[in-house]
A and B are shown apart, each in its own frame.
Chain A
Amino acid sequence: MTFSLSDHLVPLQRNIESLPMQPGDWLIDRRFAALERFERIGFPNRRSEAWRYSRVDGLLKQGFVAPSQRHAADGRALIEPHELQIATAGRAVFIDGQYIDELSDCSAAGVRVTSLKAAMASGDRQVLEAIGSLSGLGDDGFSALNLASFQDGAVIHVEPGVRLDAPLEMLHLTTSRVQGCKLPTRHLVLLERQSRAELIERFVTQDQQSAYFNHQVVEISLAEQAELKHKRIQLESRQAYHLSDLYIALQSKADYRGVTASIGGCWSRTTITNRFIQPDANCELDGLYLVGDGQLTDFHLDVDHQLPNCSSWENFKGILRGSGRAVFDGLIQVGKGAQKSEAHLHNANLMLSRHAEVDTKPQLMILADDVVCSHGTTVGQLDDQALFYLRSRGLNEQQARALLCQGFLAEIVEKFEHQALQALLNRQFNFVTSEVEQ
């Protein structure tokens, strides 16, 4: 490995010291604490169970550095090809990891979409206190480094009782200028009591060849009876490394429904940590992944029921081609006090190639006795009978395979609700599944 810890620490320390700070600034203290934590634990390795199947040496060898130049001038032209045919109530646009003011806006009353940097600079107390409140200093070296070094991000805040009809959008675009760079960002999504919102997040790229490391930490907090539908589509460059850490905290009767599609990148990892901090909340996590040659996709879910009457539903489905690899590690814990919990955890994999590999580990740990829980996993291939049936109706083999692959993922695609998103996803499937593999 060409990397050493000191390569990171010195510039980071300087970086933190150069940030605007006031004496006793709480966030600066946290950043130093996170740096210390990183110094202690370093980057994860395969000895830790959570990283057993996802090597990081490839990522570390790249020696990604902070970007020196800022984003390209004409952002509007850059994002134009990625505009969705969906009317939104507001959006935050990032180009190369930087929040772009001119392209970000929010017209809805009672909703704030702003840059995290701006909120920190203005000394916004609610924002400053929320940063790191769910993630802690970081479970692993990556998240600790993120807290120590992030420069920007987005804040989405919905006031009590505000119920949005149109979705909010977060667009993360990378250009060829980030070749060789790491892009740590951090986002806060705060829904006050009885508010309702939908957030569509996409990771797209201008350059399928550029190698970079996109790492975002998202802290999502839903107050009593708040509802958030969160849709995420990861279409990074095929050479990119992507790491998303989502931390969700739900108060009483809050309802979080998240669905993620992981399609791009050569290495993509998503961790979702959900905490029920009051009873009677609901958390639904769905996901789909497509991996092909030279790709690894990794999902880690950690849902902890310690209070009664909460429910969680997790359903992840993936299609693996070529030498693609996937990891699914889902854990649901139901503690002694979590009576009347409902928890379901499922993972299904469709292998289109015998060179593909999946490591799947759904785990349910139950200590309470009055609960409804299920978990399961499947790994299978396209069904010959189904293929024959379709071909006997005039579809050629490619069409038949594409239709069956689409069918396999249909229940997850449905969760994206908007036709524009579903069409975007289905186009990806047609492209990748029509080829006949051995």
Chain B
Amino acid sequence: MLSIKNLTASVDGKEILRGLDLHVAPGEVHAIMGPNGSGKSTLAHILSGREGYDVTGGEVEYLGQDLLQLETEERAQQGIFLAMQYPVELPGVNNMTFLSESMNAIRKAQGRAEIDTLSFMKLVKQKARQVKLDEKLLKRSVNAGFSGGEKKRNEILQMTMLEPKLAILDETDSGLDIDALRTVADGVNQLRSAERGMIVVTHYQRLLDYIEPDRVHVLAHGRIVRSGGKELALELEARGYGWLLDEVAA
């Protein structure tokens, strides 16, 4: 469903991605690991259409189209979801209003009927219980004054409500305690299906204890330097990134 070929990109003239290749098929969960500054978040942002990145070469194909030609909202409407590392606070914007408007924008774009208020309320309460997000937070402003863990749960809630085709989780584990990590992972695991692809970007191996990836890739200096099965993550946990970087350099 997603095919990235030889992608190069820079920020303010500084090259961040230097020929990245990645292929995600429906039903697969890919973990992208790597040291800080390796380009993990840049990749997640480029896929979701964030401004400020210059794609200087390569191509990204998503469901048979040139992804880079699509606006941010068009990508979302066609099933791409980015769970952000730093979810934005939106003071004054009601969490439930935001979620229902978002859901209906996506449904409308897909030619589906809008969800009625009652069904929406039922669904959102059920999903909030699932990700252990306090129902009170549904009535508050989006992420405003939420704790780090609440923000991440809110991201996962959005993801389960919007049912994306391709979910990208950008360091969703950062700043989470073990209980929150487990809840977030449960939410992700419940979404795993034969039609859905997932990219899990993480610095640490521990998230992968709960979300078992099909493939693990190591991103360093803007390209994938090693790919393997889930055992690669364990090896990285045990040995760190240093040996791999040395090997690549050699």
Are A395 and B84 in contact (CB-based, < 8 A)?
Answer: no
Residues from chain A with a CB closer than 8 A to the CB of B102 are 390, 393-395
Cross-chain contact of B51 among A384, A389, A406 (Cβ < 8 A): A384
Q: Which of B58-104 contact A (CB under 8 A)?
A: 71-73, 75-77, 81-82, 84, 87-88, 90-94, 97-98, 101-103
A404 and B92 CA atoms in complex are apart in Å by 8
Q: Is A392 an interface residue when CB atoms closer than 8 A count as contact?
A: yes
Residues of A within 8 A of B162 (CB): 393-394
Q: Chain B, interface size: which category?
A: 20 to 34
Q: Residue B50 at the A interface, CB < 8 A?
A: yes
Task: Compute how far the CA of A111 lies from the CA of B157 in the bound complex, rounded to whole angstroms.
Answer: 52
In the complex, A386→B91 CA distance in Å? Answer: 10
Q: A384-B51, A397-B73, A403-B98 given as contacts; is B93 within 8 A of A392 (CB)?
A: no
Q: Give the interface SS of chain A, mostly helix, strand, loop or mixed.
A: helix
Question: Would you call A396 an interface residue if the criterion is a C-beta within 8 Å of the partner chain's C-beta atoms?
Answer: yes
A395, B101: Cβ atoms under 8 Å? yes
In the assembled complex, the CB of A76 is this many whole angstroms from the nearest CB of chain B, namely 35
Q: Which of A380-438 contact B (CB under 8 A)?
A: 383-386, 388-397, 399-400, 403-404, 406-411
Q: Chain A contacts of B87 at CB under 8 A?
A: 389
* B84 contact set on A, CB distance < 8 A: 389, 392
**Which of B50, B92, B105 is A395 in contact with, Cβ under 8 Å?**
B105
**Within 8 Å CB of A385, what residues of B?**
88
Task: Given the known inter-chain contacts A403-B93, A407-B93, A407-B141, please indicate yes or no for A392 contacting B105, CB distance below 8 A.
Answer: no
Given A394-B73, A394-B76, decide whether A404 and B48 contact each other with a Cβ distance below 8 A. Answer: no
Q: Does B109 contact A (CB under 8 A)?
A: yes
Is the beta-carbon distance between A410 and B77 smaller than 8 angstroms? Answer: no
Q: Please, how many residues of chain A have a CB less than 8 angstroms from a CB on the other chain?
A: 24
B105:A411 contact, CB within 8 angstroms: no
The CA of A396 and the CA of B93, in the complex, are separated in Å by 16
The residue on A at minimum CB distance from B98 is A403
Q: Given known contacts A399-B101, A399-B105, is B91 in contact with A391 (CB within 8 Å)?
A: no
Instruction: Report how far A390 CA is from B75 CA in the complex, Å.
Output: 12
Q: Which residues of chain B have C-beta atoms less than 8 A from A399's C-beta? A: 101, 105
Residues of A within 8 A of B77 (CB): 394
Is A406 touching B93 in the complex (CB atoms < 8 A)? yes
Is B39 at the interface (CB under 8 A from chain A)? Answer: no
Name, among A392, A397, A399, the residue most crowded by chain B CB atoms within 10 Å (CB to CB).
A392
Which residues of B are found within 8 Å of A408, using beta-carbon distances?
Answer: 91-92
* Cα A288 to Cα B50 with chains together (Å): 32
For the complex, what is the distance from the CA of A392 to the CA of B45, rounded to whole Å? 10
For the complex, give the distance between the alpha carbons of A427 and B90 in Å. Answer: 20
Residue contact A389 to B92, C-beta cutoff 8 Å:
no
Interface: B49 (CB within 8 A): yes
In the bound complex, do residue B76 and residue A391 qualify as a contact, i.e. CB atoms below 8 Å apart?
yes
- Asked whether B48 lies within 8 Å of A392 as measured between CB atoms, the reply is yes
* Proximity bits, A137-154, B CB within 8 Å = 1, else 0: 000000000000000000
Q: Say yes or no: A386 contacts B158, CB within 8 Å.
A: no
User: Please, which residues of chain B bring their CB within 8 A of the CB of A400?
Assistant: 73
Separation in Å of the A412 CB from the closest CB of chain B? 9
Is there contact, CB below 8 Å, between A411 and B109? no
Interface CB pairs A-B, < 8 A, 10: A386-B90, A388-B88, A390-B102, A392-B48, A392-B73, A395-B102, A403-B93, A403-B97, A407-B93, A410-B93
Chain B residues proximal to chain A, CB less than 8 Å: 48-51, 71-73, 75-77, 81-82, 84, 87-88, 90-94, 97-98, 101-103, 105-106, 109, 141, 158, 162
What is the interface of chain A, defined by CB distance below 8 A to chain B?
Answer: 383-386, 388-397, 399-400, 403-404, 406-411
